[in-house]
Amino acid sequence: MKKIEFYRHNIGEQEIKAVTETLQNIFITTGPKTRLFEKEFAAYLGAKHCIGVTSWTIGAFLVLKAWGIGPGDEVIVPAMTFIATPNVILHCGATPVFVDSERSTGNIDVNKIEEKISPRTKAIIPVHLYGQMADMTAIRTLAQKHGLRVLEDAAHCIEGTRNGHRPGHLSEAACFSFYATKNITCGEGGAIVTNDDELAEKLHLLRFHGMSKSAANRYYQTYQHWDMEILGYKANMTDIQASLLVPQLERIEETWKRKNEICRRYEEAFRAERIEFPVSLTDSKPARHLFTVWAPRGKRDSILVALQEKGIGVAVNFRAVHLLSFFRKHFGLKSGDFPVAEEIGDRTISIPMYPKLSHEEIEYILDTVIKTFQSKE
Ligand SMILES: *Cc1c(COP(=O)(O)O)cnc(C)c1O
């Protein structure tokens, strides 16, 4: 029996050549390649600054730290996300305050945010789930009204737009992931984009021990003593990571077109069989990071096993975060608190969706998913 992997990355000859070149250079840590990637990534997103880091998680943590978020503060997050989103708030000593999802897309329900805002609320972290952007226009209006900052979790959304806006346009900062299964990858990596000069400067310090000069600054200029201005961390992207990312970024639109074709084929076939999936909004260009279908109630786990037995790699993105043991235990959260996120979390199945899928594989996936759903109804 053939096996269709859940995901296969898009690293090829260009990336191998680029990384080999870097390994032959003097600089393998943060240097000219990192700078090049940061410049190109900022340009692609139409942002003023990009700061390359080692993961989404550390990047988002540094943004919250730069804003001084700490004990006693609250930050609003959707219940339907990956655990990294609330975890960075916890690492700052602050409290994540969850909000339910909208039924159509799974994104944060903007009508349910305001009731969660308290005098302790400092920021909102919307997540662009599966690559489709949350309603940033509404979120920005709310944030301005209540004096809150917004950090976009754009781990799924590099290529996406909504009403012509990209991640980073309607917020103080957007954070991206280059983890192994993300839209472009270097195994592990991340980046923050922002138009805020002061925040960018602070993030540069925070990602490198709070040091005023990086190793590359010291190498390329005559010797200057560095100073430690603030207590920082160690999160700088390396030239090895950046050289893997540059060619993928240059091909990103071409890659997106292929993913979009696959998604449209899936959508058309599933719609014909009345299989449910998150809607694609007409005012949006979805980044097409994940394709998920919603199983009949109570049937998700048996369908997951059935698809695996037929050689199809599957994933669950995600079970509602507030029902995981840690959040139940420490925040007293329970079933029924966020019913829409819970329903999506109980029904969602992510199926393979990436440019390397062949026509035969796509048709096999469609046929198998449809038959499996019908057999479980
Ligand atoms: C992958 C992911 C993250 C974490 O990214 P890392 O680079 O692994 O830290 C955060 N949020 C969402 C929604 C993700 O899918």
Q: pLDDT by residue (tens digit) across 114-171?
A: 999 999 999 999 999 999 999 999 999 999 999 999 999 999 999 999 999 999 999 9
Peptide bond into 318 cis (omega under 30): yes
Backbone angles phi, psi at 301, to 5 degrees: -65, -35
- Residue appearing with tokens 């890659």: 255
Give residue-wise pLDDT tens across range 237-285: 999 999 999 999 999 999 999 999 999 999 999 999 999 999 999 999 9
Phi-psi bin for 311: left (phi > 0), alpha (psi -120 to 50), beta? left
Which stretch of DSSP H or E encloses residue 39?
A: helix 32-45
* Residue of minimum CA distance from atom 6 in ligand 1: 56
Indicate the pLDDT class of residue 215, thresholds 50, 70 and 90. Answer: low
- Residue appearing with tokens 């003097």: 26
**Bridge partners, 190 (sequence order):** 53, 177
Indicate the pLDDT class of residue 1, thresholds 50, 70 and 90. Answer: low
- Residue appearing with tokens 């250079």: 25
Give residue-wise pLDDT tens across range 317-356: 999 999 999 999 999 999 999 999 999 999 999 999 999 9
Q: Minimum mean pLDDT among 23-27, 88-92, 234-238, 362-366: which range?
A: 23-27
* Residues within a 6 A CB radius of ligand 1: 55-57, 81-82, 84-85, 127, 153, 155-156, 177, 179, 190
Give residue-wise pLDDT tens across range 299-323: 999 999 999 999 999 999 999 999 9
Which member of 33, 182, 202, 310 is catalytic? 182
Is-catalytic flag, 182? yes
pLDDT of 224 reads 80
Length of the chain: 377
Q: What percent of the chain has pLDDT over 70?
A: 99
Atom of ligand 1 nearest to the CA of 57: 9
pLDDT of 212 reads 81
pLDDT of 377 reads 75
Distance 177 CA to ligand 1 centre (A): 6
Other C-beta atoms lying within 10 Å of the C-beta of residue 157: 29
Indicate the pLDDT class of residue 37, thresholds 50, 70 and 90. Answer: very high
Atom of ligand 1 nearest to the CA of 182: 1
pLDDT of 77 reads 98
Classify the C-alpha dihedral 126-193-190-198 as positive or negative.
Answer: negative
